Amino acid sequence: MTDHPVRQGFWAVIGVVVDTLIVCTATAFVVLSSGVWTEEGAMENSSALTSLAFESYFGQFGAILVTICLVFFVLSTIFVVVFYGAKQAEFLFGTKASYGMQVVYILAVVLGAVGAAEIIWGFLDIMLALILIPNVIAILLLSKKVKALTVEFFTSDQYYKKDQREKKEKKMAGS
């Protein structure tokens, strides 16, 4: 739970920066610099490129490291998506819908694990496209509110200014 929506927004931005800009960019550099993508048949099994690239630099340890990281990323993503989906359903339709959404997500995970991944990816592509339209509309309609909340966060003595004051006090007490 957070005390202000702008603070929550910053945490969301940090998640995107770490995941997309840092992890994905570093992975791309490893794959590109290793040259595994140029080998015969590399594009037929593109999902293995990361593991092969890390293995080319770090030996078997690299492949194991990628596997362990992938397990953690997948599990954390599943937990977060199920949580967000359940909370959204609960907000819109009540507690029973929350439980229903959890079942839908868990069934999708199971189906994906047993081989229906292509069907699920196709379904997800359609759903993401359908989600895009109301999200863009919501962003446009809420932009004035977002601006007002941002101004409030940075100018109010309850949030950002308070954080900076406490940070300064800690620094002064520590020196």
Same domain, 72 and 93: yes
Q: pLDDT digit string (tens) for 120-148?
A: 777 777 877 877 888 889 889 999 999 99
Task: State which of 94, 115, 136 marks the end of a domain.
Answer: 115
Does residue 6 sit within a domain? no
Q: Is residue 128 assigned to a domain?
A: yes
Mutual angle of helices 60-93 and 49-58, in 10-degree steps? 140
pTM: 0.62
Same domain, 50 and 100: yes
DSSP 175: -
If asked whether residues 100 and 131 sit together in one domain, one would say no
Do residue 126 and residue 106 come from a single domain? Answer: no
In a domain, 4, yes or no: no
CA dist 9 → 5, 121, 127, 170 (Å): 6, 28, 23, 25
Buried b (16+ CB within 10 A) or exposed e, 29-49: ebbeebebeeeeeeeeeeeeb
Q: What is the pLDDT of residues 79-127, one digit of tens each?
A: 888 888 888 888 889 999 999 989 988 888 787 777 766 777 777 778 7
**Shared-domain flag, residues 34 and 97:** yes
Written as six digits, the tokens of 78 are 């599943």
pLDDT at 114: 77
What mean pLDDT is reported for the chain?
87
> For residues 112 and 39, which has the higher predicted lDDT (pLDDT)?
39
162 plus 108 within the same structural domain: no
Domain assignment present for residue 157? The answer is yes
Q: What percent of the chain has pLDDT above 90?
A: 27
pLDDT at 175 over 70: no
Please give the tally of structural domains in the chain: 2
Domain that holds residue 95: 27-38+46-115
User: How far apart are the C-alpha atoms of 112 and 115, rounded to whole Å?
Assistant: 6
Same domain assignment for residues 60 and 109: yes
Are residues 78 and 86 in contact, defined by beta-carbon separation less than 8 angstroms? no
CA 1 – CA 3 distance, rounded (Å): 7
